[in-house]
C-alpha cells in the first residue's frame, strides 16, 4: 500500500498528464493567433515604408538623370521620356547606373507605374505603387480624416492632398473592386482628400488625373468615398468644388446636387 502510493508520486513527477499537455498546446495556439497577425502587419508596414523610400529615391535620381542626360533634358512630356528610356523607366535607370537599388515594390514584387509631369519648367518623375491601399480598408481613410481634421484647422486643400501623399508614400489607389461594374472599370485612379465647409469632415474623391494636377485645383471626382461608403458619378459633371458649401457629410448627402451627380455603389 505504501509502496504503491510512493510509486504513483514518482510517476506523476516524471512526466506530464494528458490534460497538462493539452493546456500547454491551447496556450501556444492562442499565443500564435495573437502574435502571428500582428507580426505580419508589422512586416507589411516595414515593407510599405521601404517601398516609399525606394520610390522617393527613384524620383530624386530620375531628376538627376533628367538634368545630366542631354537628350532626356529636352523632354517635356511622358511620351518623350519613354521614347528614350522605354516603358520601364526604373529599369533604364538601373541599366544606365543612374540608380542602384531595387526597382520593384517589396510588398507586391511588382514594378512601379511611372508618371512624368512638366509644369512651370519643372520636370518631375513619380514612381507610383498601389501597395498603400490595396486592402480596400476604409478605416485607413477614417484614420487619415481624423488626423487631418486634428492637424489642419486652417488648412489649404492642396496641403491636405500633399500630407496624405507624403504620409502614405503616394496617394492610396482606388481598388479594382470599387471600380468594377462602373464606367471607370480598369482605370488607374487615386484617392484625394477634400474637406467640407466646417473643415472637420473629409471626403475622398477618386480620379485619374496626376498628383500635380490635383494640387493645381482640379477638384473633380469620378468616385467618392464618404464614411466608408462609395458613390459613383453618373452625370458626367465631375466637379466637386461646390462640396465646401456643405458643413458635414449628411448635409452633402441630402443635397439634391449630390444626388443628381452620384449614386451609391451597390455590390
Element spanning 43, H or E: helix 18-68
Using CB under 5 A as the binding rule, the residues of this chain from 197 to 256 that contact Zn ion are none
User: Which cell goes with 251?
Assistant: 448635409
Q: Which three cell numbers stand for residue 184?
A: 471607370
Per rule CB under 5 A, is residue 148 in the interface with Zn ion?
no
Beta-carbon contacts of 215 under 8 Å, excluding residues fewer than 6 positions away, are 158, 161, 162
Regarding 51 and contact with Zn ion (CB under 5 A), the answer is yes
User: Considering beta carbons, is residue 62 or 258 the nearer one to Zn ion?
Assistant: 62
CA geometry: angle at 254 spanning 248 and 259, to 5°?
Answer: 120
From the CB of residue 193, how many other CB atoms can be counted at a distance below 10 Å? 22
171 lies in the binding site for Zn ion (CB under 5 A): no
Number of residues that bind Zn ion (CB under 5 A): 5
Minimum separation from the CB atom of position 116 to Zn ion (A): 19
Q: Are 148 and 165 spatial neighbours (Cβ–Cβ below 8 Å)?
A: no
Distance in Å, CB of 171 to Zn ion, minimum: 13
**Least spacing, CB of residue 129 vs Zn ion, in Å:** 3
User: Using CA atoms, how far apart are residues 189 and 206, in angstroms rounded to an integer?
Assistant: 6
The stretch near Zn ion (CB under 5 A) out of 45-53, 82-90, 181-189, 224-232 is: 45-53
Determine the straight-line distance between the first and last CA of the chain, rounded to whole angstroms: 75
* Calpha distance 208→190 (Å, rounded): 6
Residues 88-117 that bind Zn ion (CB under 5 A): 105, 107
Nearest approach, Cβ of residue 111 and Zn ion (Å): 10
> Measured from the CB atom, is 58 or 129 closer to Zn ion?
129
132/203 with CB nearer Zn ion: 132
Nearer to Zn ion, 102 or 257 (CB): 102
Give the whole-angstrom CA distance, residue 166 versus residue 162: 6
User: From the CB of 92, what's the least distance to Zn ion, in Å?
Assistant: 19
Nearest approach, Cβ of residue 103 and Zn ion (Å): 11
Length of the chain equals 267
Query: Under the rule (CB under 5 A), what is the footprint of Zn ion?
Result: 51, 105, 107, 129, 131
Amino acid at each position: 500500500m505504501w509502496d504503491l502510493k510512493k510509486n504513483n508520486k514518482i510517476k506523476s513527477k516524471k512526466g506530464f498528464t494528458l490534460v497538462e499537455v493539452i493546456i500547454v498546446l491551447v496556450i501556444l495556439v492562442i499565443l500564435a493567433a495573437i502574435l502571428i497577425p500582428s507580426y505580419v502587419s508589422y512586416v507589411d508596414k516595414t515593407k510599405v515604408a521601404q517601398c516609399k523610400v525606394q520610390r522617393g529615391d527613384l524620383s530624386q535620381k530620375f531628376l538627376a538623370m533628367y538634368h545630366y542626360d542631354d537628350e532626356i533634358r529636352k523632354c517635356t512630356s511622358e511620351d518623350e521620356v519613354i521614347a528614350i528610356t522605354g516603358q520601364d523607366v526604373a529599369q533604364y535607370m538601373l541599366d544606365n547606373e543612374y540608380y542602384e537599388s531595387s526597382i520593384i515594390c517589396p510588398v507586391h514584387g511588382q514594378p512601379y507605374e511611372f508618371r512624368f509631369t512638366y509644369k512651370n519648367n519643372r520636370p518631375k518623375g513619380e514612381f507610383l505603387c498601389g501597395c498603400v491601399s490595396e486592402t480596400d480598408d476604409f478605416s485607413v481613410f477614417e484614420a487619415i480624416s481624423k488626423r487631418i481634421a486634428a492637424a489642419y484647422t486652417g488648412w489649404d486643400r492642396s496641403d491636405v492632398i500633399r500630407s496624405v501623399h507624403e504620409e502614405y508614400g503616394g496617394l492610396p489607389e482606388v481598388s479594382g473592386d470599387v471600380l468594377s461594374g462602373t464606367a471607370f472599370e480598369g482605370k488607374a485612379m487615386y484617392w484625394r482628400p477634400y474637406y467640407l465647409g466646417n473643415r472637420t469632415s473629409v471626403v475622398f474623391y477618386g480620379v485619374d488625373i496626376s498628383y500635380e494636377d490635383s494640387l493645381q485645383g482640379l477638384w473633380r471626382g469620378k468616385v467618392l468615398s464618404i464614411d466608408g461608403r462609395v458613390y459613383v458619378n453618373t452625370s458626367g459633371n465631375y466637379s466637386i468644388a461646390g462640396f465646401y458649401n456643405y458643413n458635414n457629410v449628411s448635409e452633402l448627402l441630402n443635397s439634391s446636387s449630390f444626388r443628381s451627380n452620384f449614386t451609391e455603389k451597390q455590390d
